[in-house]
Chain A
Amino acid sequence: MDLNTTFEADKDTVVMSSLLRLVKSTIGSKSLVGVTGLGLSLFVLSHMAGNLLILVDPKMYNLYGHALVTNPLIYLAEMGLIALFLAHVVKAVLLTFVNRQARPQKYAMASSGDKATSAVTKTMWAQGLIIFVFVILHLFTFKFGNYYEVIYDGEPVRDLHRLVVEVFAQPGYLVGYIIALLILGLHLSHGVGSAFQTLGFNHPKYTPMIKKISCLYAFIVAGGFIAQPLYVFFIYKG
């Protein structure tokens, strides 16, 4: 028998088993939720910032979108995002089941007073589910929505601006979007700071600051997104 190959094989399975154990553990799972959550948080910030161009000029907005989708790296970025999103959702949902099973019988009364906890932190999973549904609808509305074209300097470019104006002319869409984004804001206000704790960072000097920054981050992201349809609905005049 070739001792070397068996040794190599064993090493492989050993590496797998210790990593697998990590990924399956509650703390490993939660860390994955934290890392992917932070990745998604960076994405939503950049997504919001880029789209703010809608407040500036329709052409700039369309050209920004065009530059993104014509960049060959877009597929890599999209796959990365999908992976982050799915890992976050799958691990978060699995953990929610584990957490539910850990208390089969509910209390007759909820904790209160000094021992009560905030509703935002207790409903992260429900916020997540709403965000999940929203993201799917959002992709169908915009990415896979009506395709309009506009010609800039002889080059055809997708007229996303027109689609956005058309969609948000409907009050129902406007309200639904704002609610979804407020929920994303709640998710981030707890999530960003919480991820630091999950990943092992808690310091009496910095943690109170991180919690404040987390709320500010959520406010900026949600506020920046919400400003866009509001502008389109109330201010933009074609």
Chain B
Amino acid sequence: MGGTSEKTINLKLKIWKQNGPDDKGHFIEHEAKSVSTDMSFLEMMDVVNEDLVKAGKSPVEFDHDCREGICGACSMVINGNPHGPDTATTTCQLHMRRFQDGQTVVIEPFRARAFPVVRDLVVDRSAFDRIIQAGGFISVNTGNAQDANALPVPKVDADEAFASAACIGCGACVAVCKNASANLFVSAKITHLGLVPQGQAERDERARNMVQQMDQEGFGACTNTGACSAACPKEISLENIAQMNKDFLKASLKDRS
């Protein structure tokens, strides 16, 4: 590749292998030789898998899709950090130049009761989908779109809503939280929709239903450690959680049903 000073490193990998949700799982050790520092972490994993297949072993399953930090499919906990050591970075955007020659790298799946392991590093994050189904939407009747000017949105609100909307739903917040709490994810959705005029009609119901679903899925409560925001590849702020708490408390006290 032009313009880059390609270097290679050797790594000792300890990778989680688990045959299915009911398997106990264990670490396998693998020497990754001559890893280009220009590779992304996922590319490194692709090479590891080719080596494993060539050696007649089964490859390590992991989730990925866009590989450009926007879809939220990639996961993995790398040396204890979801999406690895860099802030504001997804695993697919993490580069091997971030690692040292000879370093041991421990790779685990996101661990949470609400995210059961499907296989190896792949976990089932459909709990997030069910939370969205419980209220993470705005109901709009079909027909002509309104004139945009008919719905003024203050610039500050638009900016804040946009910052919350940056959440890609990867689940790193759950993975890093000592309580496996989904507060950052759920609050980003509640805040995003609660800041725009179209979201007002369902605002109370949304807060109540999404929080109820979140609790039912078996995520823990927030203890304000701030780990989620620090690990979030989109740097979603803790302000979202405070906003969700406020919306939920208000909506619950107002509840007539």
A contact set with B: CB distance below 8 Å: 14, 18-19, 21-22, 25-31, 95, 98-118, 121-122, 124, 190, 194, 196-204
* A27 and B220 contact, CB distance less than 8 A: no
Which of B33-41, B63-71, B133-141, B173-181 forms contacts with chain A? B173-181
Q: CA separation between A200 and B252, bound complex, in Å?
A: 14
- For the complex, give the distance between the alpha carbons of A113 and B178 in Å: 16
For the A-B complex, the count of residue pairs with Cβ-Cβ distances under 8 Å equals 165
B180 to chain A, nearest CB (A): 4
Contact of A102 among B27, B219, B238 (CB under 8 A): B219
Chain B residues with Cβ under 8 A from A198's Cβ?
222, 224, 242, 245
- Hey, which bits of chain B sit against chain A, CB under 8 A? 14, 27, 77, 79-82, 85-87, 106, 108, 111-114, 176, 178-181, 211-212, 214-215, 218-227, 230-231, 238-239, 241-249, 252-253, 255-257
B244 nearest in chain A by CB position: A27
- Is the contact region of chain B dominated by helix, strand, or loop, or is it mixed? mixed
Task: State whether A105 touches B111 (Cβ < 8 A).
Answer: yes
Q: A235: shortest Cβ distance to chain B, in Å? A: 39
> From residue A123, how far is it (CB to closest CB) to chain B in Å?
10
On chain A, the residues within 8 Å of B245 by CB distance are 27, 30-31, 197-200
A108-B106, A114-B230 given; A103·B179 CB < 8 A: yes
Which residues in A have their C-beta under 8 angstroms from that of B220? 26, 98-103
Please name 16 further chain A to chain B contacts, defined as beta carbons within 8 Å, in addition to the given A111-B227, A198-B242, sorted by A numbering.
Answer: A26-B222, A95-B223, A99-B178, A102-B218, A102-B219, A102-B220, A107-B111, A108-B80, A108-B106, A109-B77, A111-B80, A111-B231, A117-B178, A190-B224, A197-B224, A198-B245
What is the CB-to-nearest-CB distance from B246 to chain A, in angstroms, rounded to a whole number?
A: 3
9 interchain pairs, CB-CB under 8 A: A30-B222, A102-B218, A107-B77, A108-B108, A109-B108, A111-B80, A115-B80, A115-B230, A117-B226
B242/A18 in contact, CB under 8 A: no
Cβ–Cβ < 8 Å partners of B230 in chain A: 114-117
**B221–A109 touching, CB < 8 Å:** no
User: Which residues on B sit within 8 Å (CB–CB) of A111?
Assistant: 80-82, 176, 227, 231
* Assembled-state Cα–Cα distance A178/B200 (Å): 52
Residues of B within 8 A of A26 (CB): 181, 211, 214-215, 219-222
- Cβ contact within 8 Å between A197 and B249: no
Contacts of B81 in A (CB 8 A): 111-113, 115
Cα distance A30–B223 when bound, in Å? Answer: 8
Give A122 to B181 CA distance when docked, in angstroms.
13
Complex contacts, B80 vs chain A, CB 8 Å: 107-112, 115
Cα distance A31–B221 in the bound complex, in angstroms: 11
Which among A101, A103, A117, A194 has the greatest number of chain B C-beta atoms within 10 A?
A: A103
CB-contact partner of A28 in B225, B249, B256, under 8 A: B249
Question: Do A101 and B108 have beta carbons less than 8 Å apart?
Answer: no
Q: Tell me whether A197 and B238 are in contact in the complex, defined as CB-CB below 8 angstroms, given that A25-B212, A103-B113, A202-B243 are known contacts.
A: yes
Beyond A25-B211, A102-B181, is A204–B85 a contact (Cβ under 8 Å)?
no
- Which of chain A's residues have a CB closer than 8 A to the CB of B249? 22, 27-28, 31, 199-200
From B79, B218, B246, give the contact of A109 (CB < 8 A). B79
Is A103 a contact partner of B106 (Cβ separation < 8 A)? no
Residue from B106, B222, B245 with most neighbouring chain A CB atoms (10 Å): B245
- Please give the distance in Å from A201's CB to the nearest CB on chain B: 6
